[in-house]
């Protein structure tokens, strides 16, 4: 296991190994998301209070969960770069941030669409909504900071530091519904207790969440491999890859 991970720190091995997983990951992701979306739209039972509007849950919750999960992963990558000097980790931080920003945007928009029929407003400066909006701005700040530097090593390091600073927003998002009086409902899932949702409503959520997760991994690997090629373009193996066009 550790040998495999150490080997992945080498750009050439990372490029070769990840190439084999890309297409299967994409197909698994598309299949899971298609099944989840069709199940969520047409086969899951309606909620007894919210009716069919509840079906937004199947898009909103996985995207919101992923927006936080991807940020936590960026925090882990930042530690890998700053403590263990693994360069591929630094390269991946802005790539994960792009996908994370898209997920945060999707969570905010679907939440807003859900808010109008349930709360009577698209937006309110509620603790959960505001802290999630701040997460979106942090993602944008990380992307802007990274693109501001032509020296990518310095850019990677400063991005990693900003990422670690922004980590403070994650517990605020998670506990916002407990610390303040909010319109947003409390957590449906927790590690230590049963889910507060009927089991017949659960499968589409799992399908879409796993689908989005696999799709995010596919996007990040695809982008990482391309950035790696540009950064390592003076190496012989990159010239061979370009000739073969793989």
Shortest gap between Cβ of 79 and another protein (angstroms)? 26
| Ordered DSSP codes for 168-181 | THHHHHHHHHHHS-
Maximal CA-CA distance, the chain:
63
Shortest gap between Cβ of 168 and another protein (angstroms)? 27
Query: Which of 80/129 has CB closer to another protein?
Result: 129
Query: Which of 55/146 has CB closer to another protein?
Result: 55
Rounded CA gap, 57 and 54, in Å? Answer: 6
Rounded CA gap, 195 and 203, in Å? Answer: 12
- Three-state secondary-structure class, residue 20: helix
For 150, other C-beta atoms within 10 Å of its C-beta total 7
φ/ψ region of 219 (left if φ > 0, alpha if ψ in -120 to 50, else beta) reads alpha
Nearest 5°: phi and psi at 47? Answer: -75, 145
| Ordered DSSP codes for 64-95 | HHHHHHHHHHHHHHHHHHHHH--HHHHHHHHH
Shortest gap between Cβ of 103 and another protein (angstroms)? 8
Contact 225, 18 (CB under 8 A): yes
What are the residues binding another protein (CB under 8 A)? 33, 37, 41-42, 52-53, 55-56, 59-60, 63, 99, 102, 105-106, 109-110, 113-114, 116-117, 215, 219, 222-223, 226, 229-230, 233, 238-239, 242, 245
Shortest gap between Cβ of 64 and another protein (angstroms)? 12
Query: Which of 65/175 has CB closer to another protein?
Result: 65
Query: Which of 71/218 has CB closer to another protein?
Result: 218
Closest CA to 95 of 246, 197, 200, 221: 221
Shortest gap between Cβ of 2 and another protein (angstroms)? 30
Query: Which of 172/184 has CB closer to another protein?
Result: 184
Query: Which of 114/139 has CB closer to another protein?
Result: 114
- Three-state secondary-structure class, residue 51: strand
Alpha carbon 92 to its chain's center = 12
Query: Which of 80/211 has CB closer to another protein?
Result: 211
Shortest gap between Cβ of 6 and another protein (angstroms)? 27
Shortest gap between Cβ of 179 and another protein (angstroms)? 28
């Amino acid at each position: 296991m550790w040998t495999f991970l150490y080997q992945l720190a080498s750009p050439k091995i990372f490029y070769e190994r990840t190439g084999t997983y890309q297409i299967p990951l994409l197909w698994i992701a598309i299949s899971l998301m298609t099944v989840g979306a069709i199940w969520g739209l047409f086969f899951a039972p309606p909620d007894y209070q919210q009716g069919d509007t509840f079906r937004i849950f199947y898009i909103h919750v996985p995207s919101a969960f992923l927006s936080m999960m991807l940020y936590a992963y960026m925090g882990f990558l930042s530690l890998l770069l700053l403590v263990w000097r693994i360069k591929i980790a630094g390269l991946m931080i802005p790539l994960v941030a792009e996908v994370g920003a898209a997920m945060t945007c999707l969570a905010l928009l679907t939440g807003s669409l859900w808010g109008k029929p349930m709360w009577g407003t698209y937006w309110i400066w509620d603790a959960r909504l505001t802290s999630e909006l701040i997460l979106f701005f942090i993602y944008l700040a990380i992307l802007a900071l990274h693109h501001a530097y032509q020296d990518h090593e310095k850019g990677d390091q400063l991005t990693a530091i900003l990422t670690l600073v922004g980590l403070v927003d994650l517990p605020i998002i998670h506990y916002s519904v407990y610390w303040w009086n909010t319109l947003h409902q409390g957590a449906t899932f927790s590690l230590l207790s049963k889910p507060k949702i009927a089991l017949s409503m659960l499968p589409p959520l799992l399908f879409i969440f796993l689908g989005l997760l696999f799709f995010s991994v596919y996007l990040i690997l695809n982008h990482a491999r391309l950035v790696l090629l540009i950064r390592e373009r003076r190496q012989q193996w990159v010239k061979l890859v370009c000739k073969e066009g793989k």
